[in-house]
Amino acid sequence: MGKATREAYGAALAEIGAKNKNIVVLDADLSKSTKTDTFKKVVPERFFNVGIAEQNLISVGAGLAAAGKIPFVSSFSMFATGRAFEQVRNAVCYAKLNVKICATHAGITVGEDGATHQSLEDIACMRAIPNLTVIVPADEAETKAVVSWAAEYNGPVYVRLGRAGVADVTPENYTFTPGKSTELVAGTDVSIIACGALVGPAVDAAAMLKEQGVSARVINMASIKPIDADAIIKAATETGAIVTAEEHNIIGGLGAAVAEVVTEHKPVPVIRVGTNDTFGESGTPKELMAKYGLTAEHIVEAAQTAIKRK
């Protein structure tokens, strides 16, 4: 198992921030957990802890962006998107301000912190806001590429990051491009489109399906908005069945975004793997992923069902 994407974020932010004097970092008293403390150690004069005040976190970020800075603001996903939704919508996105909201501890793998801290609706909330780019990197390498891109991009960005370690899946010499996906495994019988912590299990599922004589394509859809509609339509056309996999509610997340493209352009069976309109609970990440159906085995079952529905 590789690093958690939050750890990769902290390292990338410190490296890029040391070179780009315009970058400032804000945190809501969780810098050790979000890993922005790595940036603080390098350039403390451009790090600001606003305290446990997430609405203020976003608003101060908006003000700094309006003054020409490049603010990266961080907290747990539950609070950056939930408690501060109005500020994200009205202060940042309505004005198209150059704020990078990099929220950690998303999804069920927050683990023992329980349902109150497990953000399973943030993708749905964020992708519904105009002007906001929504990205869910899969691993360490992709997170670093996304942070590098975000620092150069002029506009609001939401980056969803996790607490637990994830498998390394990104190919060498990877460059992140918004609106573009990455095909990790070629396949002709079914397409598995995944994001974030479920990309690794999707690759494992493809290997398991191969042993059963099933050829599964695996696509890493890190860019949720804009989404790679061309890749989705191509997958639907060439494989005739799609499975989506995400560490998020199946309502409003990656699965919903893929289904929107499929129904408008190339209707084929789509099975969504994710949490099914439920809150999480306290437990280890491994236990919770198994209980809520977010494993390679569950993806295999979904693929078998999707193929039968062709």
Q: What residues are labeled active site?
A: 54
Listing DSSP states for 174-243 in one string gives ----TT--EEEE--SSEEEEE-GGGHHHHHHHHHHHHHTT--EEEEE--EEES--HHHHHHHHHHHS-EE
Of 100, 105, 103, give the one whose Cα is nearest residue 247.
Answer: 105
Name the one residue in this structure whose structure tokens are 């990266």.
72
Calpha distance 281→295 (Å, rounded): 17
3-state helix, strand, coil in the chain (%, to 5): 45, 20, 35
Long-range contacts of range 288-293, CB-CB < 8 Å, 24 or more positions apart?
Answer: 288/108, 288/109, 288/111, 289/108, 289/109, 289/247, 292/108
Tokens for 298, please give them.
């569950």
Contacts of residue 213, defined as CB under 8 A and 6 or more positions apart, other chains included, come to none
